[in-house]
């Protein structure tokens, strides 16, 4: 990126010009869709050399740095198919809802999270140790709302600022963080009613939070996706998912009027038959640890598949290895609705040009493979 770009006004204008360009209008047309993801904010701290704690506490710095990141991606990956959006999402990392239920969250300078592991609930399995969630004051909520207001004020109407700090976790990740993994697994055998009560409490608080969110921003309820990375067999069993988790997902579906997608980086293959009981689930994710062949056997063809590749399939692969992997996906999913993405990418060395080169090779190969798969 040009080093003379410094002012917010110039950065905003460059993002808007890129978004309105003819080049941008040709993006987002590849079918199936295929895009890579950056590991936020860890990748950016490596590329730009800043402290993640400044990024997540200084709204002026966050505002300019996020625009720089958008322009860096735009300028360095000319062949990627993802359009640049004329917006600046208000974001504070992937874990704000952990703080809503009473867990401390911090980051090191690289942006690696540190989530509290000694909540009182780890020592005493009593749901009463948890406080009801208050939309205005629980955990980071006052910080979240102030952060959003600060970014809107800085924007001054020059660029849209979406609120990107919602409660995305379902109930499983939060429960395991509150109890600890070993305690949680024991609970499912020794005190299953406690687990049901804990999940019910978390989902009730989640729904209350969303009610207040809709009210605060004058919005109507709509379907939302959820994330629970502990959906990862064998760390939990399919039976645990069916007994404890699925009923709560159905309650979340009922509350929002739809649950279109469930994210987990783990192995979801053995619970797909349960996920399919969520009638509004339109997309099933095929994570790097989820078996694609078995997924194609398990999942009806009318469901969309979001195939996520491992970062090594981009950053540690030759162009020939990339092509072989992508052809396997394209051939396997022929006549299915699917898209290809990656788990979050971050530079593996100090050589950022090598990182850029690897991704550009991948974007070129994926376009070649997907275009040839149509013929």
- C-alpha Rg value of the chain to the nearest Å: 21
At residue 4, the pLDDT reads 40
Query: Residue 327 CA to chain centroid, in angstroms?
Result: 26
Rounded CA-CA distance 167/97 in Å is 5
pLDDT in tens, 82-111: 999 999 999 999 999 999 999 999 999 999
At residue 181, the pLDDT reads 98
At residue 1, the pLDDT reads 39
Q: How far apart are the first and last CA of the chain?
A: 37
At residue 113, the pLDDT reads 97
Does residue 50 have a pLDDT over 70? yes
pLDDT in tens, 229-272: 999 999 999 999 999 999 999 999 999 999 999 999 999 999 99
Taken in order of first residue, the domains within the chain and their CATH numbers are 8-373 (3.20.20.210)
Distances (CA, A) of 21 to 16, 27, 36, 50, 369: 9, 10, 21, 30, 27
Which SS3 state, helix, strand or coil, does residue 85 take? coil
Helix/strand number for the chain, H first, E second: 17, 9
Q: Which residue's structure tokens are 């971050």?
A: 346
Give strand ranges (E) for the chain: 37-38, 105-107, 113-115, 226-227, 261-263, 283-286, 304-309, 338-342, 344-345
At residue 374, the pLDDT reads 75
Task: Copy the structure tokens of residue 38.
Answer: 């950056």
Mean pLDDT of the region 329-351? 96
Does residue 163 have a pLDDT over 50? yes
Backbone angles phi and psi of 118, in degrees to 5: -125, 40
Beta bridge partners of 90: 163
Band the pLDDT of 280: cuts 50, 70, 90: very high
Rounded CA-CA distance 69/119 in Å is 36
**Predicted model pTM:** 0.94
Helix (H) or strand (E) holding 209: helix 192-217
pLDDT in tens, 25-44: 999 998 999 999 999 999 99
Nearest to 90 by CA among 49, 150, 45: 150
Pick left, alpha or beta for residue 97 (phi over 0 → left; psi -120 to 50 → alpha; otherwise beta). Answer: alpha
Kindly write down the DSSP assignment for every residue of 297-309, as one continuous string. HHS-TTSEEEEEE
Band the pLDDT of 6: cuts 50, 70, 90: low
Does residue 5 have a pLDDT over 70? no
Neighbour order of strands in the sheet with 261-263: 226-227, 261-263, 283-286, 304-309, 338-342
As a whole number, the mean pLDDT across the chain is 96
Does residue 67 have a pLDDT over 50? yes
Query: Residue 31 CA to chain centroid, in angstroms?
Result: 22
Cα dihedral 292, 181, 238, 263 in deg (nearest 10) = -40
Band the pLDDT of 373: cuts 50, 70, 90: confident
Which SS3 state, helix, strand or coil, does residue 24 take? helix
At residue 375, the pLDDT reads 65
Rounded CA-CA distance 251/272 in Å is 18
At residue 276, the pLDDT reads 98
């Amino acid at each position: 990126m040009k080093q003379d770009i410094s002012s917010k006004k110039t950065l905003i204008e460059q993002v808007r010009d890129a978004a309105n360009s003819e080049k941008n209008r040709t993006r987002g047309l590849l079918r199936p869709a295929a895009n890579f993801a950056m590991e936020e904010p860890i990748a950016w701290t490596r590329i730009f050399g800043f402290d993640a704690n400044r990024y997540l506490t200084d709204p002026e710095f966050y505002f300019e740095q996020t625009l720089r990141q958008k322009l860096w991606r735009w300028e360095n990956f000319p062949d990627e198919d993802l359009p640049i959006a004329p917006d600046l999402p208000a974001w504070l990392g992937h874990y704000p809802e952990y703080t809503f239920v009473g867990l401390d969250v911090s980051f090191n300078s690289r942006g690696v999270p540190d989530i509290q592991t000694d909540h009182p609930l780890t020592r005493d399995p009593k749901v009463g140790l948890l406080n009801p969630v208050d939309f205005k004051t629980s955990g980071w909520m006052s910080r979240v709302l102030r952060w959003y207001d600060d970014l809107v004020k800085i924007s001054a109407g020059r660029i849209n600022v979406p609120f990107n700090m919602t409660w995305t976790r379902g109930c499983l990740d939060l429960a395991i963080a509150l109890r600890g993994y070993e305690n949680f697994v024991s609970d499912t055998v020794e005190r299953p009613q406690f687990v049901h009560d804990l999940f019910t409490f978390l989902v009730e608080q989640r729904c209350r939070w969303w009610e207040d969110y809709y009210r605060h921003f004058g919005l109507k309820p709509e379907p939302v996706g959820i994330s629970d990375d502990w959906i990862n067999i064998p760390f939990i069993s399919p039976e645990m998912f069916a007994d404890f988790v699925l009923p709560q997902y159905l309650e979340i579906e009922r509350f929002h009027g739809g649950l279109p997608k469930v994210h987990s980086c783990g192995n979801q293959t053995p619970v797909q038959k349960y996920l399919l009981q969520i009638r509004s689930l339109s997309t099933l994710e095929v994570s790097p640890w989820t078996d694609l062949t078995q997924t194609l056997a398990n999942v009806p063809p009318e469901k969309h598949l979001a195939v996520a590749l491992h970062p090594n399939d981009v950053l540690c692969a030759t162009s020939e290895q990339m092509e072989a992997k992508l052809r396997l996906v394209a051939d396997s999913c022929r006549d299915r609705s699917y898209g290809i993405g990656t788990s979050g990418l971050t530079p593996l060395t100090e050589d950022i040009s090598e990182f850029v080169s690897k991704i550009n090779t991948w974007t070129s190969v994926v376009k070649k493979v997907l275009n040839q798969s149509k013929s």
